[in-house]
Structure 1
Amino acid sequence: MSWFYLVLAGLFEAGWLIFLEKSASFSKPPFVFLACGSMAISLYLFAISIKDIEVAIAYMVWLGVGVCSLIFFNHVFLGSAVSLMQGIFMLLLFIAIIGLKVSS
């Protein structure tokens, strides 16, 4: 269950960054509140997950899931381009995350 919480924490990590960008430098309060809420949920889920997962591994997975989710969201919903090489390296990152899960 800790790995599920960790991946979910990574998704909320991407969420707070998206909402932070949408807040237009804290000038749109609803997005500021969403960013703060997503950040709090992300940190809470991360804290729960490190009870059973080594901190260094959890941190790598948390950031990896967050970054890949952010890139995916920007590509699908905002039309930002993802090069072939970026796609390959994101795939390698997911393979590494799966490898960390299997090896721990």
Structure 2
Amino acid sequence: MDWFLLIIAGFCELGFIAFVSKAQSSGKRWYSLIAMAFVLVSITILSIVTKTVPLGIAYAVWTGIGAISSVAYGVLVLKESFNWLKGLFVLMIIAGVVGLRLFGEG
């Protein structure tokens, strides 16, 4: 259950990124408020998860999910460029997150 919550917390980072982007492009303050709500939920869930998952592993997984989802959002929604090097580094983040999940608690 804790790993599921950690994944939810990571994807709340995507909500934060999406609404910060909306706030910047539109100038509407309520997008900023929604972004702040997403980041508060994300950090709250992260703090709950760290009671059972080691802090270093939880933080690395949380930031990894946030980084990967923000790259995907940038490429798919904001039409940012994507090349093989960017893809390689995203795969390296994924490998690190999976490795920490598989071998980090031993």
TM-score scaled by length of structure 2: 0.87
Q: Is the 8 A contact 2:19 2:35 kept in 1?
A: yes
The alpha carbon displacement at 1:26 in A equals 9.2
The alpha carbon displacement at 1:21 in A equals 2.5
Deviation by residue 1:60-94 (Cα, 9 ceiling, x = unmatched): 11111101100101111121112211111111211
Which residue of structure 2 lines up, in the alignment, with residue 57 of structure 1? 57
The equivalences for 1:1-104 within 5 A come to: 1-24=1-24, 27-103=27-103, 104=105
Q: Is the 8 A contact 1:26 1:32 kept in 2?
A: no
Q: Is the 8 A contact 1:10 1:66 kept in 2?
A: yes
Percentage identity across paired residues of the two chains: 29
Deviation by residue 1:26-50 (Cα, 9 ceiling, x = unmatched): 9412201210110111011111111
CA distance in 1, matches of 2:17, 2:73: 11
Moved over 3 A (4+): none
Structure 1 unaligned runs (5+)?
A: none
Where 1:78 maps in the other structure, the secondary structure is coil
CA distance in 2, matches of 1:78, 1:25: 11
Q: Is the 8 A contact 2:14 2:69 kept in 1?
A: yes
TM-score scaled by length of structure 1: 0.89
C-alpha distance 12-96 of structure 1, shift in aligned 2 (>3 A):
same
Count of matched residue positions in the alignment of Structure 1 and Structure 2 = 104
Q: Is the 8 A contact 1:20 1:32 kept in 2?
A: yes
The alpha carbon displacement at 1:25 in A equals 8.5
